[in-house]
């Protein structure tokens, strides 16, 4: 695998047992994601897009074929190694947020850093920096039930970003939001990507998918399209979001990178 390749699936098949039957979720899928790319994985329900995300995020393993993260085949890694790889490489954003109800916004965002072994003071510094970046400095002590849907998703994005991952995986990140709030969340992903972090958005919504610079389309577990967005489309989207391209460095908070 080349040094610029962050994640790759090579000839991947994924089967699931459904009673006495076997369902094939992925059927020989191959693609690679480069460092700093902004990619949408699109397709209808049941197309295999979330399965791809779970494999890239080391949350599942293929029935056959190979998954590479940073050039390492994940099937050769033990559970503890996979957990460390996820914590250091990937940030997850889900449709239903998955925030811990009993924790404040600040505590939710600090949580991934606890698993890094960082001291509490440093965890707080980094979490405060990323929460300011996503516009939630005035919500530090609020709990998830006290937040709007957009604020919950921004908290989830801050939690995904706090350890400066190389890759953000977002599974239907606007599915529970109204259209205006959803657009603001996608704008935020565009800004994050403009600073060098790779972003993969899994979506069934073509309006969301076209905001990415590359679009991979799945149907029935197979890739039916893999195209770069037209330059005028991405330029217009970036202008609307007020995004300035800054690809010389990854988005880093508090002056610290965890690469």
Please tell me the predicted confidence (pLDDT) of residue 83.
86
pLDDT string in tens for the chain (259-residue length): 444 899 999 999 999 998 888 999 999 999 999 999 999 999 999 999 999 999 999 999 999 999 999 888 998 888 888 888 888 899 999 888 899 999 999 999 999 898 888 899 999 999 999 999 999 999 999 999 999 999 999 999 999 999 899 999 999 998 888 888 888 999 999 999 998 999 999 998 888 899 999 999 999 999 999 998 655 455 554 544 454 444 444 444 344 443 3
Please tell me the predicted confidence (pLDDT) of residue 257.
42
Topology (CATH level 3) of domain 36-62+78-241? Rossmann fold (3.40.50)
Edge-first strand order for the sheet with 64-69 is 21-34, 5-18, 64-69, 72-73
What is the pTM for the complete model shown? 0.84
Closest by CA to 160, choosing from 244, 80, 253, 40, is 253
Please tell me the predicted confidence (pLDDT) of residue 248.
41
**Which residues sit opposite 24 in a β-bridge?**
15
Please tell me the predicted confidence (pLDDT) of residue 233.
55
Distance CA 124, CA 113 (A): 9
Q: Is 221 helix (H, G, I), strand (E, B) or coil?
A: coil
DSSP characters over 31-70: EEEETT-EEEEE-STTSSHHHHHHHHTTSS--SEEEEEET
Please tell me the predicted confidence (pLDDT) of residue 225.
95
Write the CB contacts of 220 (distance below 8 Å, at least 6 apart in sequence): 27, 46, 47, 48
């Amino acid at each position: 695998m080349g040094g610029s390749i962050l994640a790759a699936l090579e000839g991947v098949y994924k089967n699931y047992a459904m009673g006495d039957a076997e369902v094939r979720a992925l059927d020989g899928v191959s693609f690679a994601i480069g460092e700093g790319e902004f990619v949408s994985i699109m397709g209808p329900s049941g197309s295999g897009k979330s399965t791809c995300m779970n494999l890239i995020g080391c949350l599942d393993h293929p029935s056959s074929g190979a998954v590479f993260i940073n050039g390492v085949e994940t099937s050769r890694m033990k559970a503890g190694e996979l957990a460390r790889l996820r914590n250091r490489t990937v940030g997850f954003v889900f449709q239903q947020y998955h925030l811990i109800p009993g924790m404040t916004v600040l505590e939710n965002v600090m949580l991934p850093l606890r698993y890094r072994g960082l001291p509490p003071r440093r965890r707080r510094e980094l979490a405060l920096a990323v929460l300011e970046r996503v516009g939630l400095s005035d919500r530090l002590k609020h709990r998830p039930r006290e937040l709007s849907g957009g604020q919950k998703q921004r908290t989830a994005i801050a939690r995904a970003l706090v350890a400066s991952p190389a890759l953000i995986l977002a599974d239907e990140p606007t599915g529970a939001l109204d259209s205006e709030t959803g657009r603001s969340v996608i704008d935020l992903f565009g800004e994050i990507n403009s600073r060098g972090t790779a972003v993969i958005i899994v979506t069934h919504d073509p309006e969301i998918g076209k905001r990415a610079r590359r679009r991979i389309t799945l149907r029935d577990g197979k890739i039916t399209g893999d195209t770069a967005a037209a330059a005028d489309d991405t330029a217009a989207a970036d202008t609307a979001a007020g995004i300035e391209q800054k690809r010389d460095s990854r988005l880093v908070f508090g002056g610290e990178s965890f690469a």
